[in-house]
Amino acid sequence: MEYRQLGQWGPKVSVLGVGSYLTLGLKTNEAESRAIVRRAFEAGVNFFDTANAYNRGGAEEVLGRCLAEFPRSDYVLITKVWAPMGPGPNDRGLSAKHIREQCRASLKRLGLDYVDVYMCHRPDPQTPLEETLRALDDLARAGDILYWGVSEWPAWLIVKAQALARELRLRPLIVNQPRYSLLYRYPEFETFPVTRQEGVGNVVFSPLAHGLLTGKYAPGAPAPAGTRAADPDQNAVMLRMYWTEENQRRGRQLAELAAAHGTTAARLALAWAMRPAAVSSVILGVRTLSQLDDNLHAADLKLDPGLIAAIEAIYPPPPFPPQA
């Protein structure tokens, strides 16, 4: 397993991490979740990702119990704040009040006395940036978090936050969590160059476009039962962003290319997402132990220029800026 520094600041993380959105403790029962975390850990994965909002705190509780069998010094944990956690006007966002309350609630659910990285899940335009940055710095001073990060913030806001942290002598932003895959390459144009310049790492999510990049969906056919695409409680993002016959067909082409090279589509797509120097880690979403076993092989896969060209012939980069 390769380890990369999280950002200019921060610990080293495995190039593959394990996430917990819609999987651990929700689609995946606790016994299999525990087996997944253990197998990942034994394979050298030292980075785990969760959020307060995943299954309304349920993912943190299950992941916390799964990680309890390992020494705290041996893993790096991200959790997040911002998404609604209740009906009240202060039960969401990035105010000092909500950040403090949710951090304490997350620590309790996780059974930990600190999180490695506390992450702002999305921007909150209703809260002054200075309020959020000071609240995060206070948490670090209190020992509840070590570092802070952001997810899906635009490049201009990352630059602004970093400049403000410098000006106020607060802890810098160390890591960003953008969506990135063969079907979503936009971070290459602005986010990756800007974060590199700012000393901020990237741990990327949905690297398989919710499963479309595994080639398991037959073009034009209904999604097989049990898959994310077949579950109306889980498939909204996937259907909105990726669910076209063209993408199903390209998934099959990727699987054929992979088979010709003795590997799988998932491994090719994951190894492809690990290539940019701006990427510190690729976060896996795995519902079963066998998916984890498949995906872990990506860590050993080296893509030569010919294979990268063949992959990108199936998934050409989008035009940037977007064409009118």
Ligand X SMILES: NC(=O)c1ccc[n+]([C@@H]2O[C@H](COP(=O)([O-])OP(=O)(O)OC[C@H]3O[C@@H](n4cnc5c(N)ncnc54)[C@H](OP(=O)(O)O)[C@@H]3O)[C@@H](O)[C@H]2O)c1
Query: Does residue 78 contact residue 149 with C-beta atoms inside 8 Å?
Result: yes
Binding status of residue 177 toward ligand X by CB under 6 A: yes
Assess contact for 228 and 211: CB atoms under 8 A: yes
Q: Is 161 in the site for ligand X (CB under 6 A)?
A: no
Q: At what angle do helices 129-142 and 155-168 cross, to 10 degrees?
A: 60
Residues 127 and 97: their CA atoms lie apart, in Å, by: 11
Nearer residue to ligand X within complex by CB, 263 or 291: 291
Least CB distance to ligand X at residue 73 (A) = 22
Q: Which of 49, 60, 116, 124 binds ligand X (CB under 6 A)?
A: 49
Annotated catalytic residue, options 3, 21, 54, 147? 54
Q: Which residue has the tokens 């079907």?
A: 183
Q: Does 208 bind ligand X (CB under 6 A)?
A: yes
Is 228 among the residues that bind ligand X (CB under 6 A)? yes
Contact 220, 243 (CB under 8 A): no
The token pair at 192 is: 């990756």
User: What residue type is 171 in one-letter code?
Assistant: R
Q: Round to whole Å and give the CA distance between 196 and 177.
A: 13
For residue 36 the two structure tokens come to 């997944």
Indicate the residue among 142 and 224 with the shorter CB distance to ligand X.
Answer: 224
Indicate which single residue of 200, 209, 257, 279 sits in contact with ligand X (rule: CB under 6 A). 209
When CB distances to ligand X are compared, the closest residue is 285
201 binds ligand X (CB under 6 A): no
DSSP state at residue 7: S
Q: How many CA atoms within 13 Å lie on the side-chain side of 104?
A: 8
What values do phi and psi take at 133, rounded to 5?
A: -65, -40
Give the Cα separation of 176 and 189 in Å (integer): 15
Build a one-symbol-per-residue string for 112-151: x at contacts with ligand X by CB under 6 A, - elsewhere.
Answer: ---------x-----------------------------x
**Which CB sits closer to ligand X, 34 or 287?**
287
Q: Which of 25, 57, 211, 251 binds ligand X (CB under 6 A)?
A: 211
- Residue 3 bears catalytic tag: no
Segment near ligand X (CB under 6 A); pick from 19-27, 35-43, 133-141, 271-279: 19-27
- Residues annotated as part of the active site: 54
Residues that bind ligand X (CB under 6 A): 19-21, 23, 49, 121, 151-152, 177, 205-211, 214, 216, 227-228, 266, 283, 285-287, 291, 294-295
